[in-house]
Amino acid sequence: MSNYDEFLKEKPKAPGPKKKASPDLTWNMLTLVMVLMTLCVCGFFVSILQNPYSMLNPFPPNTLIPPPPTATMTPRGYEPTWTPTPSVEPTETPTRRPTYTPVPSFTPFSLTTATPTFTPSLTVVASNTPRPTGVPYTVTVSWEESTKWRPDTSCASMFVAGKALDSKNSPVTGLQVKLGGSIPGKTFVPALTTLTGISPIYGPSGFEFDLRVAPVASSKGLWVQLFNQSGAPISEQYPLKTYSDCKQNLILVVFKQK
């Protein structure tokens, strides 16, 4: 073979067309770009969620206006106020006067050779009873049930109560009322003393004795008498009859000036 033929054999071939880029590479690039964009968008939203007032937020929320400061009330010292003191009129407490004790009268006796003996005389005892002085008071007595005047009482006790009136039926207060004598089961020695006007439930000049004994029948063993403020009697010593009936456990005594 000649050299020409060899030259022809060794003649370089004309270059063919260039190979096109692989389509897989294009999709990989696009995927990478989308991933990066997704990460950027996520970071953008996370940043806005964490700080809504960020400059990246195109629609920032309205700026919150802080609430006005709360006023703190400071208590002021109170000025002293005048408190009126209720005026209470002093209540007059009646003072009981000493009980009048009659002085026994002297009974004359004669000395004899025999041993002297003292014989009490009924006349002497009667002379010791104080007699009314001045304008005497009469006595009116009635028997009633105590609950008529005092609903808080019961048949467990007897009472002697009443009032004192002058000649014009006006109440007289401050007089002494004495209760003495005895009933079955109880003796009132020395005599009990009270004043008219202490128990107004029976009237402005009312008085009351609580005998503190159950109703019992007796025949004039009990007595009541009225005295003035000096202790002088102004009524007779009036005997009282008692009954065992509960409807008569209160003896109502009215002293009336003549």
Phi, psi of 147 (to 5 degrees): -65, -15
Tell me the C-alpha distance between 214 and 157, whole Å: 4
- Please give the C-alpha separations between residue 71 and each of 65, 76, 77, 78, 222, in angstroms, as whole numbers: 18, 15, 18, 20, 83
CA distance 253 to 179: 11
Using DSSP bridges, classify how beta strands 159-165 and 250-257 pair: parallel, antiparallel or unpaired: parallel
Residues 150 and 1: their CA atoms lie apart, in Å, by 172
Q: Encoding tokens for residue 242?
A: 């008692």
**How do the pLDDT tens digits run along the chain, 258 residues long?**
555 556 555 555 556 555 555 678 888 889 999 999 999 888 888 888 878 777 777 777 776 666 666 666 655 655 556 666 655 565 666 666 655 555 555 554 444 444 444 444 333 333 455 565 566 999 999 999 999 999 999 999 999 999 999 999 999 999 999 999 999 989 999 999 999 999 999 999 999 999 999 999 999 899 999 999 999 999 999 999 999 999 999 999 999 998
Q: What radius of gyration do the chain's Cα atoms show?
A: 63
In 3D, which of 157, 130, 188 has the Cα closest to residue 251? 157
Tell me, letter by letter, the H, E, C secondary structure of 225-253: EEECCCCCECECCEEEEECCCHHHCEEEE
